[in-house]
Amino acid sequence: MRLKIAILTVGSELLEGEQADTNTAAIGRILGAHGYRIRESLTVGDVEADIEEALEDLGRRRDAVIVTGGLGPTSDDLTARVAARVFKRRLTLNEEALRQIGEHFQKLGRPMHPRNEKQALLPQKVQVLPNSRGTAPGFYLSHQGKGFFFLPGVPDEMEAMLEASVIPRLRERSGVDFPQQEKVFKIFGLSEPKVEELLESATLPEGVHLAFGVEFPLVLVKLRAQGQEAGSLLAPAEETVRKILGNFLIAVGRDTPEETVARMFHRTGRTLALAESCTGGLVAKRLTDLPGASAFLERAAVTYANSAKRDWLAVPGEVLDKDGAVSRPCALAMARGIRRAAGTDLGLSITGIAGPEGGTPEKPVGTVFIALASETEEKVQGYRFPGDREKVRLLAATMALEWLRRYLGALPPAEPE
């Protein structure tokens, strides 16, 4: 039996523009990995009537409903109370839940705030779902053959509980997973219609479905297949996609471009130093989001001012005076200078005009130079990226990562020490 699963996220902040709902995506990702598909996701505010209507409506149309949010300690957290009403159960202080909340504060070494007791007020006859990372336990109840999971809205707490408490119960209900396998290819440097055109003439095995998406600045190509032979269907399809788009393939699966690049640094044993101007530390930030970046990233300089370019990167004064900070010679000097200062294998630089101010007719907003220096080679290129400040910075940083990917991809693995 294929379960029809719906998500209900509760929180006025999600409808009022203060916060984007990231829980739906996280649930979709985790359930998808176990072969479950989400049919719909609904968001309502902290309004009793709206939560009530949503629970009733989704309960009618779906087999399982995963509810997040509204379990917190404050007075606008209404989910447990509304659930009690909808499913005609009394709201009582759940001893098991209270014990778990107490234990959580004990572990933190902090006193429990009396207000947190409210989080143990649950409908009767539910299974308490432990929360290993936060105060609010979740709960599970079954009503007229449908399963309802109530989880806190805090993303990392919710995710851990999905794996620990929701997946096992879904599996009990559906008997068996129907795993859908998927391969995602992340393309940088080609437009979405161009990607679709390139793939149109490709022959994919029957049973392999092709889909597209955009995750700016990347275009996503997704291959999907279902059932027992999914793996053997996807393998040749993947080869076809790699043959056609391989040159522009910046990451695969859940990897980000920075993860691809970090893995290549670990594989090749090369080291890096960065000199960023218009991206202001974005490349360094992205590479250090990942654990282990210190193994290859020696240092990074955000050199906004010319004085910093001179002191730290030894950019010659005449380059700054004659060509300017946003120029091919300056980018080259920055890459060379940071490499020499850090004593790394590679030096990479980015200098440009991210906007909205600072553009000129010759060098409009979006003008960016990227340079890479190694022991044997120096390379520099100019770009004119479209879009606003955020897009220009994102395009420039991603292009810099793409340069590293292409450079490192051509290298052999490091010798074992």
Q: Which residue has the tokens 């400040």?
A: 389
Asked if residue 157 binds a second copy (CB under 8 A), the reply is no
Asked if residue 229 binds a second copy (CB under 8 A), the reply is no
**Interface segment toward a second copy; rule CB under 8 A; list 44-52, 81-89, 96-104, 401-409:** 44-52
Which phi and psi angles does 374 have, rounded to 5°? -130, -175
Asked if residue 42 binds a second copy (CB under 8 A), the reply is yes
Residue 8 or 84 with smaller CB distance to a second copy: 8
Q: Which residue has the tokens 């793939």?
A: 199
* Binding residue (CB under 8 A) for a second copy from 64, 297, 380, 392: 297
* Binding residue (CB under 8 A) for a second copy from 120, 187, 300, 372: 300
* CA angle at 283 for the pair 313 and 257, rounded to the nearest 5°: 140
Residue 93 or 305 with smaller CB distance to a second copy: 305
Contacts of residue 388, Cβ cutoff 8 Å, sequence gap at least 6: 355, 356
* Binding residue (CB under 8 A) for a second copy from 30, 160, 252, 314: 30
Quote the DSSP letter at residue 77.
Answer: -
Asked if residue 390 binds a second copy (CB under 8 A), the reply is yes
The pair of three-digit structure tokens given for residue 322, joined into one six-digit string: 């004659």
Q: Strand 127-129 vs strand 138-143: parallel, antiparallel, or unpaired? A: antiparallel
C-alpha to C-alpha distance for 94 and 129, rounded to whole angstroms: 12
Which phi and psi angles does 223 have, rounded to 5°? -110, 130
Residue 196 or 378 with smaller CB distance to a second copy: 196
Query: Residue 396, Cβ neighbours under 10 Å: how many?
Result: 26
Taking the complex as a whole, the smallest distance from the CB of residue 308 to a second copy amounts, in Å, to 4
Taking the complex as a whole, the smallest distance from the CB of residue 127 to a second copy amounts, in Å, to 26
**Cα end-to-end distance, the chain, whole Å:** 53
C-alpha to C-alpha distance for 205 and 189, rounded to whole angstroms: 27
Residue 178 or 212 with smaller CB distance to a second copy: 212
Q: By rule CB under 8 A, what string of x and - marks binding of each residue 81-120 to a second copy?
A: ---------------------------x----x-xx----
* Binding residue (CB under 8 A) for a second copy from 48, 163, 215, 239: 215
* Binding residue (CB under 8 A) for a second copy from 174, 288, 378, 382: 288
Asked if residue 154 binds a second copy (CB under 8 A), the reply is yes
Write out the binding residues for a second copy, residues 304-363 only, by CB under 8 A: 304-305, 307-308, 311-312, 341-343, 354-357
Asked if residue 197 binds a second copy (CB under 8 A), the reply is yes
Beta partners for 182?
224
Asked if residue 76 binds a second copy (CB under 8 A), the reply is yes
Asked if residue 201 binds a second copy (CB under 8 A), the reply is no
Contact 328, 380 (CB under 8 A): yes
DSSP 160-195: HHIIIIIHHHHHHHHSS--PEEEEEEEE-SS-HHHH
Asked if residue 247 binds a second copy (CB under 8 A), the reply is no
Asked if residue 198 binds a second copy (CB under 8 A), the reply is no
Taking the complex as a whole, the smallest distance from the CB of residue 269 to a second copy amounts, in Å, to 15
Query: Residue 29, Cβ neighbours under 10 Å: how many?
Result: 13
Query: Which amino acid, one-letter code, is at 139?
Result: F
* Binding residue (CB under 8 A) for a second copy from 168, 193, 246, 364: 193
Quote the DSSP letter at residue 416.
Answer: P
Angle, helices 167-174/23-33, rounded to nearest 10 degrees? 50
Taking the complex as a whole, the smallest distance from the CB of residue 297 to a second copy amounts, in Å, to 6
The pair of three-digit structure tokens given for residue 154, joined into one six-digit string: 């805090």
